[in-house]
Amino acid sequence: MVANGQPHLEQCILVTGGAGYIGSHTALQLLLDGYTVVIVDNFDNSCEEALQRVVELAGKNGKNLIFYQVDLCNKDAVENVFASHHFDAVVHFAGLKAVGESVAKPLLYYLNNVNGTLNLLEIMSSYGCKKLVFSSSATVYGQPKSVPCTEDFPLQAMNPYGRTKLFVEDIMRDLHKADPEWRTILLRYFNPVGAHPSGRIGEDPRGIPNNLMPYVQQVAVGRRSELSVFGSDYNTRDGTGVRDYIHVQDLATGHSAALFKLFTTPNIGCTVYNLGTGKGTSVLEMVAAFEKAAQMKIPLRIMDRRPGDCSEVYAATEKAEKELGWKAQNGIEEMCRDQWNWASKNPFGYQPSHADGKESKPVCNGGHDLKISNGAAAT
């Protein structure tokens, strides 16, 4: 349940990373809620086509989306965006998220995820915009000693990516101590999957997918031959890893509820909420649900465990339910239905389909009124 429904017509939200997977679904939700939404994204892991489709899905509210192609590491460009708009709050998704890449290129991850965030926070501070919703992750629980994970569990980073999340969480806690005017909500997502029910927006990873469902989806459309199942000897129902999969649409409404909470709770301070369903699903259960939705078999190969993986992680959801008035509405059936709907309509994601398998540049074919700026000057 989303705890809003109030008119927000005058409020303007900056969404960093809004062209990406979770950001595009959330930007759409915020437009439908009645906010004006300004997105900054450098298209490092996304493309303009996603934004065109958000505008299309938002109908008459699509005109309230403004986009700047800006890198958060370019402080002057970010400052230009703030000079051009008054923001009531910021939802900060922009970041790199591939665990393996973060191990190979830690400096890239610290520069992009931590420095980018520091630039944003400094500029927010100087413009007096002190309300932030931040994309954290269940990764900060490391290898949890028990499940479900409550928000007060000890925190531990297992890799540089996870450390960037932990650093930013700590920075926000320090910032609030130094300046109590800041209102921050740290949202720890569990495993986001699925797509908008229209099949127009969804996840479009570059290269070989790291995560389970994008990989399954690419096997289903014939881009990969089989799924490697990492480990079948965990102490779980069927021996495969258990995770808390959450529909991306539920994450989108979770952000909407978090923003409402920020606006209505002067003493929110710096508060953490898990966004999950509270239910664990194994790899084999998830594959079976997808097979049912797509009416096809997914070829599997059982492999060794993936280093760093834990056996079972799922969220305690009571805090978000009680304080945000939000609860995930979709189960794995809906997640797999919408994942397959997106995959079957967009087998190559936002790329036009191509027989030769070569990457091609995403195109824009929406023709909608999307205001695009490079952030060098005011729109």
Residue 278 in the binding site for ligand NAD (CB under 6 A):
no
Answer with the entry of ligand UFG, ligand NAD, none that 348 interacts with (C-beta below 5 to 8 A by kind): none
Interaction with ligand UFG in 86-105: which residues (CB under 6 A)? 97, 99
Answer with the entry of ligand NAD, ligand UFG, none that 19 interacts with (C-beta below 5 to 8 A by kind): ligand NAD
Map residues 164-193 to x or -, x wherever contact with ligand UFG holds by CB under 6 A: -------------------------xxx--
Give the sign of the dihedral formed by CA 35, CA 121, CA 50, CA 291.
Answer: negative
Map residues 120-159 to x or -, x wherever contact with ligand UFG holds by CB under 6 A: -----------------xxx--------------------
Q: Which residues are catalytic?
A: 161
Interaction with ligand NAD in 183-202: which residues (CB under 6 A)? 189, 192
Cα→Cα distances 159→163, 164, 207, Å: 6, 9, 21
How far is 265 from 317, CA to CA, in rounded Å?
20
Map residues 131-170 to x or -, x wherever contact with ligand NAD holds by CB under 6 A: ----x-x---------------------------------
The owner of tokens 């309509």 is 345
How far is 24 from 39, CA to CA, in rounded Å?
9
Which part of the chain contacts ligand UFG (CB under 6 A), choosing from 68-76, 147-155, 227-235, 355-363? 227-235
Interaction with ligand UFG in 287-306: which residues (CB under 6 A)? 306
| Of positions 230, 263, 331, 334, contacts ligand UFG by CB under 6 A | 230
| Of positions 12, 32, 34, 44, contacts ligand NAD by CB under 6 A | 44
CB 101, CB 154: distance < 8 Å: no
Answer with the entry of ligand UFG, ligand NAD, none that 210 interacts with (C-beta below 5 to 8 A by kind): ligand UFG
Q: Which is nearer to ligand NAD, 43 or 348 (CB)?
A: 43
Tokens of 124: 């927010």
Residue 41 in the binding site for ligand NAD (CB under 6 A):
yes
CB 21, CB 50: distance < 8 Å: no
Residue 353: CB atoms within 10 Å:
10
How far is 29 from 65, CA to CA, in rounded Å?
12
How far is 224 from 241, CA to CA, in rounded Å?
21
> In whole angstroms, how close is the CB of 283 to ligand UFG at the nearest point?
5
Tokens of 87: 């923001």
How many residues does this entry show for the chain?
379
Tokens of 258: 């978090």
How far is 185 from 163, CA to CA, in rounded Å?
18
Tokens of 192: 């986001």
Binding site for ligand NAD (CB under 6 A): 17, 19-23, 40-46, 71-73, 93-97, 112, 116, 135, 137, 189, 192
